[in-house]
Structure 1
């Protein structure tokens, strides 16, 4: 179970991360900009009941790696049990032998988004 208000409990985020997405509403770089946003988001979420990844793509080269996935989450958000899905891309960098997230983008995922578009 995740504790309320813990933005990086495992130390898995690099010193100068960046993030974009709906919750942030603007690009942010570094802990001075991201820290308050992560702390705010962390206060809204408790009791993560499940987190599943549908891996779409992944790769690594040298000290850089990426992960593209659909994240399906069931958690309590603002006191209300909620299930939702995000289309997420995370970029990692290896620092002193440890993979750390350096960038993340996530936006809401709807099954309709996955349907192929008609060819012109």
Structure 2
């Protein structure tokens, strides 16, 4: 299996499971797919972070507001793997509750990943609401 194929399998399994868990109120799997090594950053639809401590805090705050995720889909538009770096561009389609209120929304998300000794990890995310 090529690097691109292996990366795509990881995105469609571990990454998607972690995002769905986040929208169901559990930030543990999302923290696990993110790098523990600086630099890491998020320019998010709800929160920003520029280091690992801010990242963990942002994930904890966000996950506390989410619950009852009934659907999560990552519609991948583009991706590539270049050595130990990779990126994805796509739409995240989410049905969840935010502070107890059912919501459905779509985010445009671009992410950068780094291959580390234990596999792929997210190092940067930029997401905003799709108009």
| TM-score (norm. length: structure 2) | 0.74
Residues of 1 paired with 2:109 and 2:78: CA distance? 11
Residues of 1 paired with 2:53 and 2:118: CA distance? 25
Structure 1: stretches of 5+ with no match in the other structure: 111-120
Task: Give the 5 Å matches for 1:56-95.
Answer: 56-95=77-116
Q: Greater helix share, 1 or 2?
A: 2
Aligned residues: 107
Residues of 2 paired with 1:72 and 1:22: CA distance? 13
Corresponding residue number in structure 1 for 2:13:
none
CA distance 1:90–1:8, change in 2 (3 Å): farther
Structure 2: stretches of 5+ with no match in the other structure: 1-19
Matching residue within 12, 15, 18 for 2:41 = 18
Matching residue within 42, 50, 73 for 2:63 = 42
Q: Greater strand share, 1 or 2?
A: 1
The CA RMSD measured in Å over matched residues stands at 1.7
Structure 1 runs (4+) greater than 3 angstroms displaced? none
Cα deviation digits, residues 14-42 of structure 1 (max 9, x gap)? 01321002311x4x222222221111011
Cα deviation digits, residues 26-65 of structure 1 (max 9, x gap)? 4x22222222111101101112111112211100110100
| TM-score (norm. length: structure 1) | 0.80
| 1:9 partnered with 2:29 | yes
Larger radius of gyration: 1
Residues of 2 paired with 1:22 and 1:68: CA distance? 15
